[in-house]
């Protein structure tokens, strides 16, 4: 699966546009993790607990995006983007989305 953030894919031509595909992940830290992170917030700096949470949520959303595109028969995703929102305290929603297409190499 080819995934790009651009609207076109150099060296390929779109032979069919399938449409919007997406992957959604909602994650939270444990109560213990949140307490530990709250203490770290007081001192500043990188809060690795939340960094890992964000990365896991993005990776899961990306994997679900690719799975959704594959189920629809796509071999590429154009204009891929992420969107993230905090749904509640320490609950993060990450949406990965893009346009599923079928591409062929140009020769």
On whether the CB atoms of residues 92 and 85 are closer than 8 A, the answer is yes
Has residue 1 got a pLDDT over 80? Answer: yes
Q: What is the pTM of this model?
A: 0.82
Summarize pLDDT for 42-96 with one digit per residue, the tens. 565 666 777 888 898 999 999 999 999 999 999 999 999 999 988 777 678 999 9
Domains of the chain with bracketed CATH: 2-105 (3.30.110.70)
Q: How far is CA 91 from CA 30, 42, 85, 88, 105, in A?
A: 10, 20, 9, 5, 41
- How far is 100 from 78, CA to CA, in rounded Å? 7
- How far is 19 from 81, CA to CA, in rounded Å? 14
Q: Angle CA(73)–CA(77)–CA(82) in degrees, nearest 5? A: 130
Summarize pLDDT for 12-24 with one digit per residue, the tens. 999 999 999 999 9
Q: How many CA atoms lie within 13 A of 97 on its CB side?
A: 8
Has residue 25 got a pLDDT over 70? Answer: yes
More confident residue, 11 or 48: 11
Band of residue 29 on the pLDDT scale cut at 50, 70, 90: low
Q: Tell me, what's the pLDDT at 53?
A: 81
């Amino acid at each position: 699966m080819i995934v790009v953030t651009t609207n076109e894919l150099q060296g390929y031509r779109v032979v069919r546009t399938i449409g919007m595909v997406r992957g959604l992940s909602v994650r939270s830290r444990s109560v213990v993790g949140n307490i530990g992170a709250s203490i770290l917030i007081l001192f500043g700096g990188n809060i690795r607990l939340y960094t890992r949470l964000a990365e896991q949520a993005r990776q899961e959303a990306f994997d679900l995006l690719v799975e959704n595109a594959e189920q629809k028969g796509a071999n590429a995703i154009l204009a891929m983007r992420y969107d993230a929102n905090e749904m509640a305290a320490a609950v993060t929603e990450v949406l990965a989305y893009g346009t599923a297409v079928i591409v062929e190499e140009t020769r």
